[in-house]
Amino acid sequence: MSREILPPARVLVTGASGLLGRSVAQRLADLGYQVTTFQRSASGVVGARDVRGSLTDDDAVAQAVAGQDAIVHMAAKVSVSGRREDFERVNILGTEKLFDAAWGAGVENILHVSSPSVAHAGSSLVGAPAGPPDPQHAEGHYARTKAEAEVLAQARGSAGVNVLIMRPHLVWGPGDGQLTKRIIDRARCGRLPLIGTGAPLVDTLYIDNAVEAFVSGLRRLPLIAGETLVVTNGEPRPIGELIMGIAAAGGAAPPKLRVPAALAKAAGLAVEKIWAFSERVTGPHQDEPPMTKFLAEQLSTAHWFDQRRTQQLLDWTPSISIDQGLARLGSHIRSTGTVL
């Protein structure tokens, strides 16, 4: 008998108010899974049961995990700025509460969503495997706390729960209010510089491919538990070419300003300090700093990953190329007037 997790299995998706979480939850519901979503606001997933709440709320978490066959854990605090304790509360303590509740409810299968940044200390990654999470050397509060959460997830896997860790890399496409919208908005305003030469190779993940990868990961979870997989399109492109492609899809002129990488990193570090001081005085900002050291490193160093093992274990290959994704993004923006 197959050990795959198949419909009508009961699946909890945390963080389903974000693009990736919502899209994965909707795809699972469309395939016949009994989907419950858990987030602060309505998910908008048709056919799913919404449980609203926070990962820091024991009662809400217990309600969400009760009766589930599997969990796809995507909820996280994602930002390039903010207080360490805010990231800890969601990314570390929230993950711990979720795993504790899952253990108590007898949930045996957890797909834990992480990030390649947990193993990136700033140097170039060229055809790299999924390295071990490194809370000490990862850059920024988000990456460090996600690294600690991944260590926690690995430990629970060693204790008998089926845990698969997947690290999507730079998800973009229609509906993405993070990477895609920010590139286009800044390009339209003439505030999108290219850092360094724009030549380092970077791989990304188109949203539709990400959804199918996660569905495959959930389905095969009991068969490949214990693995840590970086997931990308498998098409490394020069970072400058990719940024200009996304900007062009949004009808923006290509960036003309170039900033040396060393200068951008120094400026990013200075901006972080000013931003942190301002937040202590006036409270959290609604937006994010225009540059940070981590962002400057991401835009000026190569980071792409060997996808052979990922595709083999997931029994999955990307169906939409980067060029096809850019065409779809452009068509979406022209027809709707927005990335979202």
Q: What pLDDT is attached to residue 97?
A: 96
pLDDT tens per residue, range 143-165? 999 999 999 999 988 888 999 99
Evaluate whether residue 20 is within a structural domain. yes
Q: What pLDDT is attached to residue 270?
A: 81
- Would you place residue 27 in the very low, low, confident or very high pLDDT band (cuts 50, 70, 90)? very high
Q: What pLDDT is attached to residue 65?
A: 98
Average pLDDT of 52-78? 96
C-alpha–C-alpha distance, residues 233 and 168, integer Å: 10
Q: Length of the chain, please?
A: 340
C-alpha–C-alpha distance, residues 190 and 170, integer Å: 22
- Would you place residue 81 in the very low, low, confident or very high pLDDT band (cuts 50, 70, 90)? confident
Evaluate whether residue 178 is within a structural domain. no
Please tell me whether residue 1 adopts helix, strand or coil conformation: coil
The one catalytic residue in 38, 87, 99, 142 is: 142
Please tell me whether residue 278 adopts helix, strand or coil conformation: helix
206 catalytically annotated:
no
Q: What pLDDT is attached to residue 2?
A: 58
Contact between 83 and 279 (Cβ < 8 Å): yes
Residue 39 has pLDDT above 50, yes or no: yes
Contact between 40 and 52 (Cβ < 8 Å): yes
Please report which helix (H) or strand (E) contains residue 167, including its range.
strand 162-168
Q: What pLDDT is attached to residue 159?
A: 85
Of 79-83, 106-110, 198-202, 238-242, the range with the lowest mean pLDDT is 79-83
Q: What pLDDT is attached to residue 309?
A: 97
Q: What pLDDT is attached to residue 1?
A: 40
Average pLDDT of 8-26? 96
Of 5-14, 102-111, 122-131, 285-294, the range with the lowest mean pLDDT is 285-294
Evaluate whether residue 254 is within a structural domain. no
- Six token digits for residue 288: 């994010």
Q: Which residues contact 328 (CB under 8 A, 6 or more apart)?
A: 173, 174, 320
Residue 136 has pLDDT above 50, yes or no: yes
Residue 275 has pLDDT above 80, yes or no: no
Split into its structural domains, the chain has a count of: 1
Average pLDDT of 182-211? 92
Average pLDDT of 200-216? 97
Evaluate whether residue 282 is within a structural domain. no
3-state helix, strand, coil in the chain (%, to 5): 45, 15, 40
Evaluate whether residue 339 is within a structural domain. no
Kindly report the average pLDDT of the chain as a whole number: 91
DSSP code string of 247-272: HHHTTPPPP--EE-HHHHHHHHHHHH
Q: Which domain holds residue 82?
A: 10-172+203-234+303-320
C-alpha–C-alpha distance, residues 213 and 222, integer Å: 15
- Six token digits for residue 7: 């419909």
How far is CA 134 from its chain centroid?
A: 17
pLDDT tens per residue, range 309-330? 999 999 999 999 999 999 999 9
Query: Which amino acid appears at position 188 of this protein?
Result: R
Enter the DSSP assignment of 123: S
Which pTM does this prediction carry?
0.93
Q: What is the 3-state secondary structure (H, E, C) of 178-191?
A: CHHHHHHHHHHCCC
How far is CA 291 from its chain centroid?
A: 19
Evaluate whether residue 55 is within a structural domain. yes
Residue 277 has pLDDT above 50, yes or no: yes
Evaluate whether residue 191 is within a structural domain. no
CATH number of the domain that residue 109 is part of: 3.40.50.720
Q: Which residues contact 125 (CB under 8 A, 6 or more apart)?
A: 116, 301, 302, 303, 304, 305
Q: What pLDDT is attached to residue 28?
A: 98
Percent of the chain with pLDDT over 90: 73
* Closest C-alpha among 181, 179, 172 to residue 337: 181
Average pLDDT of 250-277? 80
Please report which helix (H) or strand (E) contains residue 102, including its range.
helix 95-105
Evaluate whether residue 316 is within a structural domain. yes
Residue 232 has pLDDT above 80, yes or no: yes
Residue 54 has pLDDT above 90, yes or no: yes
Radius of gyration of the chain (CA): 19
- Would you place residue 266 in the very low, low, confident or very high pLDDT band (cuts 50, 70, 90)? confident
